[in-house]
Amino acid sequence: MKKKGLMDHIFGAHNYEDFYNPKRQAKIKDLGDGKVKVLVWELPVRIWHWVNFLAIIVLMFTGLYIALAFSSARFETHATDFLMGWLRWVHFVTGFVFMAALLFRIYWTFVGNRYTTFDIYKPGFIRGLWESLKFYIFLPNKKPHTIGHNALAQFAYWIFFGLCSIILSITGLYMFFEPQQGTHFMMNTYILGWVPHVFGNSVKLHIWHQGAAWGTMIFMVAHIYLAFREDYLVRE
Amino acid sequence: MEKKSVFQSAIERGVSRRDFLKMCTALAATMGLEFSQTDKVVNAMETKEKVPVIWLQFQDCTGCSESFIRSSHPTTESVVLDLISLEYSEVLSAASGHQVEEAMEAVIEHYKGKYILATEGSIPEDGIYCMVGGKPANEIYERVAKNALAVIAYGSCSAWGGIAGAKPNPTNAKPVTAFDSGDTPVMIVPGCPPISEVMTGVIAHYLTFGILPELDGFGRPKAFYKHRIHDKCNRRAYFDAGLFVESFDDEASKQGYCLYKVGCKGPTTYNSCMEMRWNGGTSMPILSGNPCIGCSEDGFWDAGSFTERLADIPLPQKIATVDPAVIGGVVTGVATAAVVAHGAATAVKKNIDDKKNTHEDH
Ligand code: HEM
Ligand code: SF4
């Protein structure tokens, strides 16, 4: 048998299923008739997905109100008026839900079935990326019928979603604790003290946070569309 | 040079002991000390010698000096005459030319490691754009700083680069912290200008305790820079209520609503204007209806319009800036449009492919 070279390692692996971790198999149900149902997305991942979805919708709406304060001024005011206060409060609480969900999802990357992990370092990933890209730009392609996300989708998840979520959480947390500036929690280099030295001062943190928020928005537009498209084209 | 305690020199000037104690109490309050610590201040002023100060000006507008001489608690005259001995200052020294340059040399020699260096203005990377007495600014700074006890960088230019360091920064201006001060600690006191009582307060703190005040992660004294304007603002209730001024002189501005939508930088600015106020506690920008411009923050001059919030995604090589919400909105809109177009193309292609397939089947 021919020994596999480096290039084969990267571009080879024609059986794309190869690059999924063989150890963490998904559950497979036999439907009879020679068909099987593969339970790709385990229940916790499904729950995470929709909790995250709802959290992002809420965070985006409340966040945009914080950014633009689009309600117009009223002149009959009441002692109980607290619109910005409430929306910020909802933003923060949902923000913590979002962060908890993110932590859970990162944890699940390690313990979940093989479709929940990232495979960037696996052989065949780059080829899968290219073939999937051709699938989306209407070129004839050999996009493998992967179970779970294809390589391109995984890549997008990494870059857009993972990175944006982490930036949102870090900058969000820092801004959340800004009124307590000067406390050990904010000053300690190991907790949050390093944040402004990486992202810049308070203004820049707001810009980063908002930029990542829009990044998430763009990801969502693409993600929802591609999910429907996949369904439409590859229903088998 | 004579060595006198602050108290001695005050008494010699005809200040009564009662007034001296008053000054100490005011100083303690300015420094944010508890009343019970006033005696520490008194004790220090009675026993400690005046500190020699060299005040160097680089690429500045003298605004910090102007602010400094308007200090009211303690008054500048008592600071200059009693607390410190200002050995070199372009604004306040009576002597000039070679005479004063020699005086500076004498201080560096006599008080090596015992004087404070106060700086005002930024330093151009190659000092050629800012020469004093025939020497480039960076050389003067590094020499004086290395022999000093501590450096106090007054103003946003000295602290961050400030106006001279704003885009396109033709002189490549840098904050003093970008230059070598040897082992000498540097404290920054940003603001454009800083509040005068803060400027004198940090010196008084040094005199009382013999060390620089506690600094935050950026090197600012915590006592004066640990709070955001926004968290101390008298209009904050209107912010939380969602009641905002939309444009200057509208009804909302007459009601004194929050200035967030007309570009207030209070939510991103650390300074003690809300507590200390300006001109001896008279007022401060937000109190008089103007949004905070965030003058004590790094890069405030490049942070876009003073009357727009977060308009500061810098466009490369340009001084113009844009609001991230505008960019975000446009890009998301374009993405949505692209998705719709791509969807339509997908449907058309599938139709054609399906027809072809049916065709071939028959
Ligand atoms: C998908 C997730 C999120 C989205 C889309 C989002 C969106 C936004 C937006 C658009 C802003 C306005 C930024 C500005 O113009 O100043 C904002 C502000 C803020 N967000 Fe988030 N955010 C998210 C997650 C989080 C998280 C996880 C936290 C952490 C607690 C957080 C805390 C904050 C804070 C503290 C502010 C500043 C509020 C203020 O200045 O009054 N956000 N967010
Ligand atoms: S006026 Fe400025 S500092 Fe005051 S509450 Fe409004 S945004 Fe905050």
3-state secondary structure B291-352: CCCCCCCCCHHHCCCCCCCCCCEECCCCCCEECHHHHHHHHHHHHHHHHHHHHHHHHHHHHH
Looking at the structure, tell me whether residues A48 and A105 fall in a common domain: yes
Same-domain pairing of A14 and A48: no
Taking the CA of residue A102 as reference, the ligand 1 atom at the shortest distance is 27
Which ligand has its closest atom nearest to the C-alpha of B232? 2
Tell me the best of B228, B231, B240, B260 to mutate to test the pocket of ligand 2, counting ligand atoms within 8 Å of each CB and taking the most. Answer: B260
CATH of the domain spanning B227-362: 4.10.480.10
Helix, coil or strand: residue B77: helix
- Does residue A227 belong to the interface with chain B, where contact is any CB pair within 8 Å? no
Q: Which range (A27-31, B66-70, B314-318) has the least confidence?
A: B314-318
**Same domain? A130 vs A233:** yes
Q: What is the domain extent for residue A18? A: 1-42+116-236
How far apart are alpha carbons B203 and B86 in whole angstroms?
Answer: 12
Residues of A in contact with B231 (CB under 8 A): 178-179
Lowest mean pLDDT among A48-52, A119-123, B108-112: A119-123
Give residue B329's pLDDT band: very low, low, confident or very high (50, 70, 90): confident
Number of domains in chain A: 2
Q: Are residues A62 and A179 in the same domain?
A: no
Task: Report chain B residues whose CB lies below 8 A from the CB of A201.
Answer: 268, 297-299
- Cβ atoms of B211 and B253 within 8 Å: the answer is no
Average of pLDDT values for B126-140?
A: 90
pLDDT at residue A154, rounded to an integer: 65
* A192 and A80 assigned to the same domain: no
The rounded Cα A1 to chain-centroid distance in angstroms is 41
Q: What percent of chain A has pLDDT over 90?
A: 25
Where do the structural domains in chain B lie, given as residue ranges?
6-225, 227-362
Say whether the ipTM exceeds 0.90.
no
On whether both A23 and A104 belong to a single domain, the answer is no
- Token readout for B203 is 């010196």
- Whether ligand 2 lies within 6 angstroms of the CB of B284 is answered as no
Test A229 with B343 for CB contact under 8 angstroms.
yes
CA B120-B123-B128 angle, 5° bins: 130
Q: Is the pLDDT score of A122 beyond 60? A: no
Q: Given A94, A111, A128, which residue is the final one in a domain? A: A111
pLDDT, residue B100, reads 86
State in Å, rounded, how far the first CA of chain B is from the last one: 112
Last residue of a domain, one of A96, A111, A126: A111
Q: Nearest 5°: phi and psi at B55?
A: -110, 110
B151, B145 in Cβ contact below 8 A? Answer: yes
Whether A229 and chain B come into contact, CB under 8 Å, resolves to: yes
Cβ neighbours for B23, distance < 8 A, ≥ 6 positions apart: B10, B15, B45, B74, B78, B82
Percent share of chain B, pLDDT over 70: 92
The three-state secondary structure class of B160 is: helix
Q: Find the radius of gyration of the CA atoms of chain A.
A: 22
Are A219 and A131 contained in the same domain? Answer: yes
Instruction: Give, for B56, the enclosing helix (H) or strand (E).
Output: strand B51-57
A113-142 in b/e form (b: 16+ CB < 10 A) is bbbbbebeebbbbebbbbbbbebbeeeeee
Provide the pLDDT for residue B279. 86
**A63 and A165: one domain?**
no
**Do A27 and A135 lie in a common domain?**
yes
Q: Using the predicted structure, report yes or no on whether residue A221 has a pLDDT greater than 60.
A: yes
A33/A30 Cα distance (integer angstroms): 9
Q: Which of A63, A87, A111 is the last residue of a domain?
A: A111
**Does A98 share its domain with A2?**
no
- A22 and A50 within one domain: no
CATH number of the domain bearing residue A47: 1.20.950.20
As a whole number, mean pLDDT of residues A169-188 equals 83
Burial class (CB in 10 A: 0-12, 13-18, 19+), A40: middle
Q: Which residues, numbered 187 to 206 in chain B, qualify as contacts with chain A under a Cβ-Cβ cut-off of 8 Å?
A: none
Assign domain B6-225 to its CATH architecture.
Answer: 3-Layer(aba) Sandwich (3.40)
Residue A1, classed as helix, strand or coil, is coil
Give the mean pLDDT of A135-147. 60
pLDDT-derived band of residue A133, with 50, 70 and 90 as boundaries?
low
Tokens of B38: 């006033």
Based on the domain organization, do A158 and A226 belong to the same domain? Answer: yes
Query: DSSP of A116-145, one letter per residue?
Result: GS--TTSTTHHHHHHHHHHHHTT-------
